[in-house]
Amino acid sequence: MTVQARKFGKYLLLDRIGSGGMAEIWRARQFGAAGFQKDLVIKKILPHLAANDEFVRMFIDEAKIAVSLQHANVVQIFDLGSVDREYFIAMEYVAGRDLLNLLIRCTHLRIRVPQKLALFITMEVLKGLEAAHGATDSRGNPLNIIHRDVSPSNVLISYDGHVKLGDFGVAKAQRRDSESTRAGTMKGKLGYMSPEQITGHPVDARSDLFGAATMLFEMLAMNRLFKADTELDTMVMVRDAAVEGPIRGLPPSVPEGLRTVLLKALARRPQDRFQAARELHDALADHLFEARIRVSQADMSRFMRSVFAKEFEEDKARRR
């Protein structure tokens, strides 16, 4: 949605690019000395929620969690503040589309996400998760951050081929908020939750890995792994994690070794899965090496610019 640009503190709001039940997302620009300017994203709390102290505190927590993560595969946070009682987060602008948009576009074009790019995207997400899971505070104490919503709409892919994990809005730092992992808390998108998350049991980093593997399956199958007619039935599917049949039903182009990796990554019990993001990343990297498949950011960029050719040109024009 394009609206008239307007000032917002030290930023200029250019286009409203998204709006949900909790916040508005704007493409914005920051100006500085000697003609300096930078495009970024402003996430603003909706006015009716700004008076809710608990929600504002949760919003600020999101920024505090995300700002502690300085990594190429995590959307960067630049600023947190308020303008006329409107709280906002200023974050990195990723010129591209999210994975959900990519899957929808590929479905519309009746093409598949190339297998090597599905692996590339997943491995880049896992690098971001590794950074989150291993993050520490200023004293070196582990924050034990769990994203809790690893899903296609939170994976941003730039036209230059960069892959970044964003929206730590439901992430929790266990050390600071032990309630975040206790039974009864359930946040995120149902079809990408782990069995333990969907049933309200304690979650840890292995839950995020389950979400990453669920996305990988979807890219390989071009179909959702856990999707039923009702939310309750979807929850039952996730709880049971009966993935052997769907994995067997993947296209013949998916080799047996990759299916084996998926079976382990999507195991119902956390102790039967890969135990760390690096372990799953390396298993996928080993598969690429053994298959003698090379994939790079340049490959990702070419695919994005091809699939979103019109949007790529429009985005370039907007930023001139």
Q: Do 176 and 271 lie in a common domain?
A: yes
Q: Which of the listed residues 43, 74, 93 is the one where a domain comes to its end?
A: 93
Residues 71, 186 share a domain: no
Q: How far apart are the C-alpha atoms of 12 and 41, rounded to whole Å? A: 10
Rounded CA separation 313/292 (Å): 34
Of the ranges 2-6, 124-128, 238-242, 273-277, which one carries the lowest mean pLDDT score? 2-6
Do 12 and 120 share a domain, yes or no?
Answer: no
Burial class (CB in 10 A: 0-12, 13-18, 19+), 284: buried
Q: Please give the residue range of the domain that contains residue 40.
A: 2-93
Q: How confident is the model at residue 46 (pLDDT cuts 50, 70, 90)?
A: confident
Residues 13 and 158 in one domain: no
In a domain, 226, yes or no: yes
- Please provide the distance, in angstroms rounded to a whole number, between the alpha carbons at the two ends of the chain: 18
AA identity, residue 291: A
Quick one: pLDDT at residue 201? 95
Same domain, 75 and 161: no
Q: Are residues 69 and 146 in the same domain?
A: no
Residue 310 in any domain: the answer is no
146 and 6 co-located in one domain = no
Residue 306 lies in a domain: no
What pTM value is reported for the model? 0.91
Is 315 tagged catalytic? no
Among the candidates 72, 93, 114, a domain finishes at: 93
pLDDT for 60 equals 82
The string of DSSP codes covering 175-187 is TT-GGGGSTT---
Residues 111 and 63 in one domain: no
Mean pLDDT of 159-170: 88
Count structural domains, the chain. Answer: 2
CATH of the domain at 88: 3.30.200.20
Say what the pLDDT of residue 188 is: 55
Residue 8 — very low, low, confident or very high, per pLDDT cuts 50/70/90?
A: very high
Does residue 314 lie in a domain region?
A: no
Q: Can you give the CATH number for the domain in which 140 is found?
A: 1.10.510.10
Asked if residue 89 and residue 111 are part of one domain, the reply reads no
Contacts 24+ apart (CB under 8 A), 15-21: 15/318, 17/41, 19/46, 21/46
Flag whether 312 is in a domain. no
Q: Which of 61, 98, 149, 167 is flagged as catalytic? A: 149
Q: Are residues 40 and 175 in the same domain?
A: no
- One domain for residues 151 and 290: yes
Instruction: Look at residue 63 and tell me whether its pLDDT is greater than 90.
Output: no
- Same domain membership, residue 239 and residue 157: yes
Query: What per-residue confidence (pLDDT) applies to 177?
Result: 42
State both tokens at 19: 């709006």
Residue 311 lies in a domain: no
Tell me if 318 is assigned to some domain: no
pLDDT tens for each residue of 272-298: 999 999 999 999 999 999 999 999 999
